[in-house]
Structure 1
Amino acid sequence: MFTLFKRSIVLILLGLLWENASRFSSINPAFCPPFTEVLQAWWELAVSGDLWVEFSASIRRSLAGFSLALLIGIPLGLLIGWYPLVRDLLNPTFEVFRNTARLALLPVFILFLGIGEISKITIVFYACIIPILLNTIAAVKSVDLLLIKSARSMNVSSFKLFLKVIFPASIPSIFTGIRMAGTGCILVLIAAEMVGAREGLGFLITYSQFNFQIAEMYAGILTISALGLIVNQGLILLEQRFSRWKQLPK
Structure 2
Amino acid sequence: MPDLLTEKATPGLNPRQAEAAQVRQSSPGRRRVITFSRGLVGLLVLAAVWEITPRLELLNPIFVPPLSEDLKALWRLIETGELWKHLSASLIRSGAGFGLALVTAIPLGTAIAWYTPVRELTTPVLEVFRNTAALALLPVFMLVFGIGETSKIAIVLFACFFPILLSTIGGVQNVDVQLLRAARVLGLSPIETFRKIVFPAAVPTIFTGIRISGAAAILVLIAAEMIGATAGLGYLINYSNNNFLIPQMYAAIIATTVVGLLINFALVTLERRFQRWRA
TM > 0.5 fold call: yes
Residues 175-210 of structure 1: per-residue CA shift (max 9 Å, x gap): 111000000110000000011200000000000000
1:112 and 2:144 correspond: yes
Q: Which runs of 5+ in 2 are unaligned?
A: 1-31
Task: Specify the SS of the correspondent of 2:161.
Answer: helix
Higher relative contact order (CA 8 A, sep 6+): 1
Partner of 1:163: 195
**Correspondence for 2:236:** 204
Residues in 1 aligned to 2:68 and 2:38: alpha-carbon distance in whole angstroms: 22
Cα distance in structure 2, aligned partners of 1:199 and 1:160: 46
Shift of 1:14: 0.6
Partner of 1:36: 68
| Counterpart-to-counterpart distance in 1, 2:99 and 2:189 | 30
Q: Give the percent of matched residue pairs that are identical in Structure 1 and Structure 2.
A: 51
Match of 1:193 among 225, 240, 243: 225
Structure 1 residue 128 corresponds to structure 2 residue 160: yes
Per-residue deviation, 1:2: 5.0
Question: Aligned-residue CA RMSD in angstroms?
Answer: 1.1
Q: What amino acid sits opposite 2:43 in the alignment?
A: L
How far apart, in 1, do the equivalents of 2:57 and 2:63 lie?
13
Equivalent position SS for 1:245: coil
| 1:8 corresponding residue in structure 2 | 40
Does the alignment pair 1:217 with 2:249? yes
For the residues of structure 1 that align with 2:265 and 2:272, how far apart are their CA atoms?
11
2:253 is equivalent to residue 241 of structure 1: no
**Aligned equivalents of 1:44 and 1:5: distance in 2?**
30
Match of 2:177 in 1: 145
Report deviation, 1:6. 2.9
Task: Structure 1 unaligned segments of length 5 or more: list them.
Answer: none
Q: C-alpha distance in 1, partners of 2:58/2:273?
A: 49
> Which residue identity is paired with 1:8?
L
Query: Post-superposition shift, 1:138?
Result: 0.3
TM-score calculated relative to the size of structure 2: 0.86
Paired AA for residue 70 in structure 1: L
Aligned equivalent of 1:27, options 43, 56, 59: 59
Bigger Cα Rg:
2
> How many residues matched?
247
Q: 1:99 aligns with which of 115, 131, 136?
A: 131
Task: Using the TM superposition, name which of 77-86 and 155-164 deviates more.
Answer: 155-164
Cα distance in 2 for partners of 1:14, 1:26 equals: 15
Matches for 1:34-113 after TM superposition, within 5 Å? 34-113=66-145
Aligned to 2:9: none
Distance 1:130 1:62 in 2: 15
Secondary structure, counterpart of 2:75 in structure 1: helix
The match for 2:262 is 230
Q: Distance in 1 between matches of 2:192 and 2:234?
A: 46
